[in-house]
Structure 1
């Protein structure tokens, strides 16, 4: 939840059932990952420009054929005025598009200072990249800037394909797969460790059942370089 101005500092995952193959959770060492990123041009650009999160939402009263979530449902509002008031309160840029669609965007620092480590950590939610929808019909037919979520450089410049490939690769370089067993619990610092789940396929009779808890909310403090 690094895209929020306030996020849970602590996460806990519990495992009740897991398939015989696949279904693991990936944890990423954000300390070593950050140190590697900061040695690169893109890492320094993140330090200077931050990132911009973009979200596109359809109108519940509109006629769009491709729907991920309506802005009324996402934020519990019913009128444009309520949506505009929310955007002002959260310091979002709100644009009204064709057919009542809403596009919100906002800037965040790309690093967050961790008091316990006394280090700046890379703190960008890459699962919100438009590329996330590349294999998801029908969203893959939309340009990245029109997909439900996207992340760009702080000045609004899209990530290049090599930049996206590098970010995926650097996370892979610092990945710790956790092959959990029923009864296992993992607790982690949400800044110190990033997490993700790779694709998996359940065989007949298999289930994957996990639980998640979060707590200790923290307001973003930004980086301290």
Structure 2
């Protein structure tokens, strides 16, 4: 058996209670600096922000995908739309219901080429995500069933009227949350307002009053068209 020479032997003094208290204090001050940003360099602040944003994005994506999968199995409205999309030749799978972060202007979107976008950072509840999924699925249904030309403002307006009306997007509780409420024709007023806001985002419908005119010209007929539902959901 060999023995270490004295020069290889490291001797440590026993840690005192004071040393342990200093360690705790150091950890506490570091945590405080991370929370407040005080005493941190700009580089350290950016690093912490990037790490925090990355973790938040992961949690949001995980939540969005879990809700998506659950709603595709258990939501009456979502499963109904899945069956009707299948009937018109546009089957929808979870691979084409994509959870991603978005800006503050939307909670979802539909692209004929890429499927449905679910804005993982914009949902305040599972029911909100459910309404958004149904809304975008109605756009997909319209695209497949009626061959919508999305560069045509009237075509786009009709689909927006139907989606806002049939998805639950304009139910009373949602309008109260937004700060809009009235005692007569509240649903119709919400549908018009939401449809106009959406059509205005279409690059082909940017002119002054174009979105408003497009929605007004199709509102009566498109509001009455509840396909594939028998009535307003």
TM-score by length of 1: 0.26
**Which structure is larger by alpha-carbon Rg, 1 or 2?**
2
Question: Which protein has greater RCO, CA pairs closer than 8 Å, 6+ apart?
Answer: 1
TM-score by length of 2: 0.25
| More strand as a share of residues | 1
